[in-house]
């Protein structure tokens, strides 16, 4: 039975010790996302400098008298600088004595400061007007304190949040992903029997009970042992972040994958007016995206570095970090996004044990305590996570077939109504024809925020990559915020492509609808596009399949498919040029013949010593020349010793990897080899089988041979990698 297949529920492991988060320094450093209705044009140009003079170009008194009564004022800036900017205040001019107030005056007014990273050349600084001067303030001294290198920063406008009503006052304002959207796909016919196809989908963590408590202010570095550099954090201690492995999303195969973005669900026990967050992801150690290599750590990208690190390393980062994200009018429930920058994507690590981290920085309470202008929310809950990724592959292709379906599905767990099966035999494909990808065209009965479904396909029982004759991806097929009619491109994995059951009556393609979230809106599968490769080759035959020649002799192979390529596993023993095999040295080599479409045949070549010539002169002066072949020695003399046939290599049966001597190389050979390694006395191998077991040709049969054999069975290495390699003697010496 084919049912809903969800990713395994994997609880997160203890936070990685070496991949640590940076400390969020200033809770006021954020990119403004809420714009108020009232606004004042300023257009004052600051030129940054290290000067502290009263007339320094990085300081100015800005008139804010028109904003009397405001509790906060937002200053909006523009610049071509892409790194962190430190901006703040240095005092206020007021309309009564003492006329100027600052940190050293009475009343004292504390200076304020933020570290902000421009986004698209813009950033904002929010100034909280001290309650003691709200109604008498005339100007505020604004300074751009960092960088100090002559950077031009223009203060364009200012607006007073406390005296105006925001646009859409009750509507949540949150970041939107700028990367490739879930459900996108591309197709390009390369015109050479191949096509390049990409598919962007989303993989969710299937854990309905997920609830990670995140506590502001407790970052990973707080728990690092200063002597060992390892984390001492335990699950009962507060932490402001959490890391997920790629495997938790069901991404067991990261071949040719670009990670686009992550979506998280955050819940709070109290209303939040402003929520700020960031994160990081494993990247290749030492790559341009590795923000930690400068700090003696490695292998991670963090989107925020904080003022201290930016001052020390800012000019050395090869890819400039940004400063995270802000949600306004957040409420108690947020579905938020964290993008992997496009310039970082090529360097993201592709190990399933690598991680992505989410960091909770700051939350402002929508309803602060009585008598306070602001209040903070210290704890939130991380309750769901998903990963949007793009897989791009070059696949065999020369034909597209569209099949009209028109089947309506009811999302849920009822297998009789939640899925549709298409008989692959209806495609009329023949042996070696391939289905490289399928595209499902789908219409929903209602607007959706998310579609979750599945896809599966029948494979032959002989498929070494899958058991049970059926393949489904490790994660569900999910599309976030799809249009009412949308498309899902599913690229058939290479490991099963040649084993898809396109011939038998039992071969099926399945599409399922598990969840839509909108009162179980129905799903109609309109059509399926099949991206096929139709073979134009005959079944490959090569004669002879076994060759015995002497050094210096040649033998031509008879091959029925033109354009084949040839690889000799031991080119010092035998070489092959244009289908002609020539013996070069005593030993054995496997010749792999490969057709343009990928059919393979292996020819076993045994090379014996060359014939020798003996010259004999008779008494009468007659010279007799005798040619003697030395490949086999015979004698009629009595045999005084007994040779066990199991100790003699039958070179006619030598096929490296064929440990059970059935002329095939498959998982059964791996089982036979591993049984031998477990107990050589109980699970004996004869000399021929032991020769075949030397998949790594080093004269020793061990786990290295088993690993190489399993890699071949899994189609990770070609057959030419088994047994003797170029320059090695046979038998091994």
For residue 552, give the CATH number of its domain: 2.60.40.1080
- The answer to whether residues 422 and 487 belong to one domain is yes
Three-state secondary structure readout of 519-586: CCCCEEEEEEEEEEECCCCCCCCEECCEEEEECCCEEECEECCCCCEEEECCCCCEEEECCEEEECCC
66-75, 564-573, 642-651, range with greatest mean pLDDT: 564-573
Same-domain status, 230 and 370: yes
| 130 burial via Cβ count (<10 Å: 0-12, 13-18, 19+) | middle
Mean pLDDT of 273-302: 89
Token code pair at residue 671:
């089982």
Cα–Cα distance measured from residue 638 to residue 228, given in angstroms and rounded to the nearest whole number: 74
Q: Average pLDDT over the chain, rounded to whole?
A: 85
**Residue 19 covered by a domain:** no
Quick: pLDDT tens for 624-670: 554 544 433 333 334 333 434 567 888 878 899 999 999 889 999 99
Query: 312 and 211 in one domain?
Result: yes
Query: Among 381-385, 402-406, 622-626, where is mean pLDDT lowest?
Result: 622-626
370 contact partners, CB below 8 Å, separation of at least 6: none
Last residue of one domain, picked from the residues 533, 567, 595: 533
Which of the two residues, 63 and 10, has the higher pLDDT score? 63
- Are 499 and 578 members of one domain? no
pLDDT score of 320: 79
How far is residue 91's CA from residue 109's CA, in Å, rounded to a whole number? Answer: 7
Question: Which pLDDT tens digit goes with each residue over 139-197?
Answer: 999 999 999 889 999 999 888 864 333 333 457 888 999 999 999 999 999 999 999 99
Residues 415 and 485 in one domain: yes
Average pLDDT for 361-374:
84
- The pLDDT score that the predictor gives to residue 490 is 97
Question: Does some domain include residue 414?
Answer: yes
Same domain? For 155 and 76 the reply is yes
**Pairwise CA distance, residues 226 & 232, whole Å:** 10
Whether 181 maps to a domain, the answer reads no
The average pLDDT across 131-135 equals 83
Buried b / exposed e along 436-467 (16+ C-beta atoms within 10 A): bbbbbbbebeeebebbbbbbbbbbbeebbebe
CATH classification of the domain holding 475: 2.60.120
Last residue of a domain, one of 105, 137, 163: 163
Q: What are phi and psi of 701, to 5 degrees?
A: -100, 115
Specify the higher pLDDT residue, 475 or 10.
Answer: 475
Non-local CB neighbours of 228 within 8 Å, separated by 6+ positions: none
Classify residue 182: in a domain, yes or no. Answer: no
* Most confident segment among 36-40, 217-221, 627-631, 701-705: 701-705
For residue 563, the model assigns a pLDDT of 92
For residue 400, is pLDDT > 90? Answer: yes
Element (H, E) at 359: strand 355-365
CB 156, CB 39: distance < 8 Å: no
Looking at the domain assignment, is residue 573 inside a domain? yes
Q: Tens of pLDDT along 439-489?
A: 999 999 999 989 999 999 999 999 988 888 999 998 899 999 999 999 999
Asked whether residue 254 falls in the same domain as residue 383, the answer is yes
Q: Is residue 626 in some structural domain?
A: no
Contact partners, residue 54, CB within 8 Å, separation at least 6: none
Q: Is the pLDDT of residue 305 over 60?
A: yes
CATH number of the domain where residue 700 is located: 1.10.1330.10
pLDDT tens, 586-618?
A: 889 999 999 988 889 999 999 998 876 555 454
- What Å distances lie between residue 194 and 398, 485, 508, 565, CA to CA? 7, 28, 24, 19
The two three-digit tokens of residue 631, written as one number: 């490949």
Closest residue by Cα to residue 490 from 444, 449, 454 = 454
Strands 508-515 and 419-423: antiparallel
| Residue 652 domain boundaries | 636-721
Distance CA 266, CA 183 (A): 24
466 and 426 within one domain: yes
Task: Answer yes or no: is 180 within a domain.
Answer: no
Residues 46 and 140 grouped into a single domain: yes
Residue 254 lies in a domain: yes
Distances (CA, A) of 180 to 186, 286, 493, 524: 11, 26, 21, 25
Q: Is 153 in the same domain as 96?
A: yes
- State in Å, rounded, how far the first CA of the chain is from the last one: 54
Residue 516 shares a structural domain with residue 553: no
Global pTM value: 0.62
Task: Say if residues 278 and 361 touch (Cβ distance below 8 Å).
Answer: yes
How far apart are alpha carbons 25 and 353 in whole angstroms?
30
Q: Residue 503: which pLDDT band, with cuts at 50, 70 and 90?
A: very high
**Please, which pLDDT band fits residue 581 given cuts at 50, 70 and 90?**
very high
**Which pLDDT score is estimated for 645?**
57
Amino acid 332: pLDDT: 94
Tokens of 356: 């992505």
Least confident of 37-46, 95-104, 269-278: 37-46
Give the pLDDT confidence score for residue 13 in this predicted structure.
25
Domain count, the chain: 5
Tell me the average pLDDT across 373-382: 90
Residue 28 has pLDDT above 80, yes or no: no
Model confidence pLDDT, tens digit, residues 512-558 = 999 997 677 999 999 999 999 999 889 999 999 999 999 999 999 99
What percentage of the chain exceeds 70 in pLDDT? 88
**296: which residues sit within 8 A by CB, 6+ positions away?**
none
What is the rounded CA–CA span in Å between residue 275 and residue 360?
8
Q: Which residue has the higher pLDDT, 68 or 565?
A: 565
pLDDT at site 38:
56
Residues 383 and 281 in one domain: yes
Where among 581, 614, 647 does a domain terminate? 614
């Amino acid at each position: 039975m084919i049912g809903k297949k969800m990713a395994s529920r994997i609880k997160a492991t203890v936070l990685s010790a070496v991949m640590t988060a940076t400390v969020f320094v200033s809770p006021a450093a954020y990119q403004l996302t809420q714009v108020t209705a009232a606004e004042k044009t300023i257009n004052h140009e600051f030129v940054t400098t290290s000067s502290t003079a009263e007339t320094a170009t990085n300081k100015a008194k800005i008139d804010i008298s028109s904003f009397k009564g405001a509790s906060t004022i937002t200053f909006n800036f523009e610049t071509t600088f892409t790194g962190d900017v430190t901006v703040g205040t240095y005092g206020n001019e007021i309309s009564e004595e003492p006329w100027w107030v600052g940190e050293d005056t009475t009343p004292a007014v504390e200076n304020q400061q933020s570290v902000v990273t421009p986004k698209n050349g813009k950033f904002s600084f929010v100034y909280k007007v001290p309650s003691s001067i709200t109604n008498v303030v005339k100007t505020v001294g604004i300074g751009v304190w960092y960088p100090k290198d002559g950077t031009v920063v223009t203060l364009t406008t200012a607006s007073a949040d406390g005296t105006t009503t925001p646009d859409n006052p009750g509507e949540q304002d949150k970041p939107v992903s700028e990367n490739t959207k879930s459900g996108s796909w591309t197709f390009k016919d390369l015109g050479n029997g191949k096509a390049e196809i990409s598919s962007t989908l989303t993989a969710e963590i299937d854990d309905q009970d997920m609830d990670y408590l995140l506590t502001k202010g407790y970052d990973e570095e707080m728990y690092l042992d200063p002597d060992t550099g390892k984390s001492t954090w335990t699950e009962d201690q507060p932490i402001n972040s959490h890391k997920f492995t790629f495997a938790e999303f069901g991404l067991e195969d990261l071949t040719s994958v670009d990670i686009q973005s992550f979506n998280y669900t955050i819940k709070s026990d109290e209303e939040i007016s402003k929520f700020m967050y960031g994160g990081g992801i494993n990247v290749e150690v030492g790559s341009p995206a590795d923000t930690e290599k400068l700090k003696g750590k490695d292998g991670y990208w963090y989107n925020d570095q904080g003022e201290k690190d930016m001052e020390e390393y800012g000019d050395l980062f090869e890819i400039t970090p940004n400063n995270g994200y802000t949600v306004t009018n957040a409420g108690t429930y947020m579905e938020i996004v964290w993008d992997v920058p496009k310039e970082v994507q090529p360097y993201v690590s592709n190990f399933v044990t690598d991680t992505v981290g989410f960091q909770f920085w700051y939350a402002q309470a929508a309803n602060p305590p009585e008598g306070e202008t602001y209040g903070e929310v210290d704890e939130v809950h991380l309750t769901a996570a998903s990963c949007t990724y793009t897989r791009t592959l070059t696949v065999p292709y020369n034909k597209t077939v569209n099949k009209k379906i028109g089947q309506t599905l009811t999302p849920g767990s009822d297998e009789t109504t939640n899925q549709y099966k298409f008989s692959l035999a209806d495609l009329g494909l023949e042996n070696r024809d391939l289905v490289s990808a399928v595209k499902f065209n789908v219409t929903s009965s209602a607007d959706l925020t998310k579609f979750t479904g599945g896809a599966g396909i029948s494979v032959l029982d002989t498929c070494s990559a899958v058991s049970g004759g059926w393949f489904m991806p490790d994660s569900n097929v999910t599309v976030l915020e799809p249009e009412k009619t949308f498309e899902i491109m599913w690229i058939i994995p290479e490991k099963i492509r040649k084993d898809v059951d396109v011939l038998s009556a039992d071969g099926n393609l399945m599409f399922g609808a598990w969840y839509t979230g909108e009162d179980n809106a129905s799903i109609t599968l309109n059509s399926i596009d099949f991206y096929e490769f139709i073979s134009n080759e005959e079944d490959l035959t090569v004669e002879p399949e076994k060759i015995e020649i002497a050094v210096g002799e040649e033998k031509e192979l008879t091959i029925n498919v033109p354009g084949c390529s040839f690889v000799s596993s031991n080119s010092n023993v035998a070489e092959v040029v244009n289908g002609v095999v020539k013996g070069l040295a005593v030993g054995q080599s496997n010749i792999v013949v490969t057709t343009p479409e990928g059919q393979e045949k292996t020819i076993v070549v045994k090379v014996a010593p060359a014939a020798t010539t003996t010259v004999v002169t008779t008494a009468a002066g007659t010279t007799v020349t005798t040619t003697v072949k030395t490949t086999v020695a015979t004698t009629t003399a009595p045999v005084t010793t007994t040779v066990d046939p199991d100790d003699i290599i039958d070179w006619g049966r030598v096929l490296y990897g064929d440990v059970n001597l059935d002329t095939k190389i498959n998982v059964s050979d791996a089982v036979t080899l591993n049984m031998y390694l477990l107990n050589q006395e109980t699970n004996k191998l004869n000399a021929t089988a032991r020769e075949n077991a030397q998949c790594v040709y080093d004269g020793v049969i061990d786990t290295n041979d088993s690993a190489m054999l399993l890699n071949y069975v899994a189609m990770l290495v070609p057959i030419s990698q088994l047994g003797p390699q170029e320059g090695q003697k046979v038998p091994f010496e």
